[in-house]
Amino acid sequence: MTTDAVPLSGPRFQTEPAVLYREMRREHGAVTPVLLDGGIPAWLVLGYRELHQVTGDPVLFSRDSELWNQWENIPDDWPLLPMIGRKQPSILYTVGERHRERAAMLSGALEAVEPSELRRHSERFADELIDAVCGEGAADLVGDYAMLLPVRVLARLYGFPDEEGPALVTALNDMIDGRERAIAGQQHLASSMARLLAERGARPADDVASRMLADPGGFSEEEIAQDLMVMLAAGHQPTADWIGNSLRLMLTDERFAASLFGGRNSVAEAMNEVLWEDTPTQNVAGRWAARDTRLGGRRIRAGDLVLLGLQGANSDPQVRVHGSALTGGNNAHFSFGHGEHRCPFPAQEVAEVIARTGIEVVLDRLPDIDLAVPAESLARRPSPWLRGLTGLPVRFTPVPAL
């Protein structure tokens, strides 16, 4: 690893990530040496072609975290452990044929979700959340709404009782933030999953957890619990940020003003533009080099950690004409990943329905909504991994609850 590595932390990931990725690319090329918490070295892949190469070769760039050459330097309380875990039996770290079998089980369990049922649950929880604020004339559409909606819908689909939703929201957000509460959040999630699977093992129902338990592939309860946790985390926070980032775009960019007053087409356009320009999942950990190799002109050693720079690749000038807003159905972005470990297609569809329904309910219920603060004062969470707003304060004419 070179001595000029860039710390993967600091306020610029909040304030100007696009400029930061441009500078990294200019100074270091498509594959940039970076430092994680505690000075742990890794490589950040910012080039579109290079990211395609990494995600398209699961043998050379493996998901097996046991390959990492840094384990001896990682303390037990390292805050990124929930994201870059060791010996986790989840689908994230499974490789080869077993990974394909688990991906098929997951996809099958999600595919069986009725689209009308998904839409109904999304609308019901969205309406409940709007009911709580609609009489006030003001709300924070992140804290009061976007951060609460996806996990409530997903928990319902998986089989959790509705009253467990709020505690799951807190645990998930703690875990994903990667700070001092991360490991406690992970533990709450794990114990909740174990309880759910014990109940569903005894009394199956029409839900995702029951379908996974009934799968003939012979998966252990531990494997299923891990995969449900992965699906909940990967489905909740990026979808919450997709809602928040899309609403921010629609409230601050006059190209989308028409849709605030009735047009629906530009909701889909705003959502697609966010996936290109302001994607919720900025960087993903990770892949591990199975042997010494070269990538983007860099010498990568066996066991090196390679981070997927999804936002950097989306804005790679080799594939983007400067300033082009690639909306209107161009889905060649990396926001759902690529290759064998990409987000399963049924999971993408679930996320899209929850996000789009969430945005449409806001626009339907609060018709004269407007930002309550100057657009430039909106702040982002301090994370190099996920890009979302800390808040989205709005005002509107108070309306009665449904």
Regions of the chain short of the pLDDT cut 70: 1-3, 87-89, 93, 176-178, 258-265, 320-332, 334, 336-342
- Helices (H), ranges, 178-303: 182-202, 208-213, 221-252, 257-260, 265-277
The token duo for 78 is 């390292």
- d(CA 148, CA 240) in angstroms, rounded, equals 8
Matching residue, tokens 């080799």:
318
DSSP string computed for 277-319:
HS-SB-EEEEEEESS-EEETTEEEPTT-EEEEEHHHHHT-TTT
Query: Given this model, what pLDDT does residue 182 score?
Result: 80
Query: Given this model, what pLDDT does residue 328 score?
Result: 47
- d(CA 24, CA 32) in angstroms, rounded, equals 7
Region for residue 38 given its phi and psi (left: phi exceeds 0; alpha: psi -120 to 50; beta: otherwise): left
3-state SS track over 91-142: HHHCCHHHHHHHHHHHHHHHHCCCHHHHHHHHHHHHHHHHHCCCCCCEEECH
370-371 vs 393-395, strand pairing mode: antiparallel
Choose among 305, 394, 286, 332: nearest CA to 73: 305
Do the beta carbons of residue 258 and residue 38 sit within 8 Å?
no
- d(CA 251, CA 249) in angstroms, rounded, equals 6
Query: Given this model, what pLDDT does residue 118 score?
Result: 96
Do the beta carbons of residue 334 and residue 309 sit within 8 Å?
no
- Sign, CA dihedral 193-199-204-207, equals negative
Strand order in the sheet with 370-371: 138-140, 393-395, 370-371
Helix (H) or strand (E) segment spanning residue 34: strand 31-36
Helix (H) or strand (E) segment spanning residue 51: helix 48-55
Query: Given this model, what pLDDT does residue 2 score?
Result: 59
Choose among 299, 86, 108: nearest CA to 214: 108
Kindly provide the b/e burial profile for residues 132-167, where b requires at least 16 CB atoms within 10 angstroms of the residue's own CB: ebbeeeebbbbebbbbbbbbbbbbbbbbbeeeebee
116 CA to centre of own chain: 24
Matching residue, tokens 């909606």:
149
Query: Given this model, what pLDDT does residue 178 score?
Result: 64
Query: Given this model, what pLDDT does residue 206 score?
Result: 95
Per the DSSP assignment, residues forming a β-bridge with 285 are: 307
Residues 6 or more apart whose CB falls under 8 angstroms from that of 163 comprise: none
Helix (H) or strand (E) segment spanning residue 62: strand 61-62
- d(CA 220, CA 224) in angstroms, rounded, equals 6
Q: Burial of 331 by CB count in 10 Å (0-12 exposed, 13-18 middle, 19+ buried)? A: exposed
- d(CA 363, CA 358) in angstroms, rounded, equals 9
The token duo for 12 is 């610029």
- d(CA 36, CA 13) in angstroms, rounded, equals 13
SS3 239: helix
- d(CA 117, CA 286) in angstroms, rounded, equals 34
- d(CA 2, CA 304) in angstroms, rounded, equals 13
- d(CA 204, CA 188) in angstroms, rounded, equals 23
The token duo for 324 is 């082009």
Query: Given this model, what pLDDT does residue 385 score?
Result: 86
Query: Given this model, what pLDDT does residue 177 score?
Result: 67
- Domains, the chain, in order of start with CATH, read 1-82+282-334 (3.30.43.20), 88-250+341-402 (1.10.630.10)
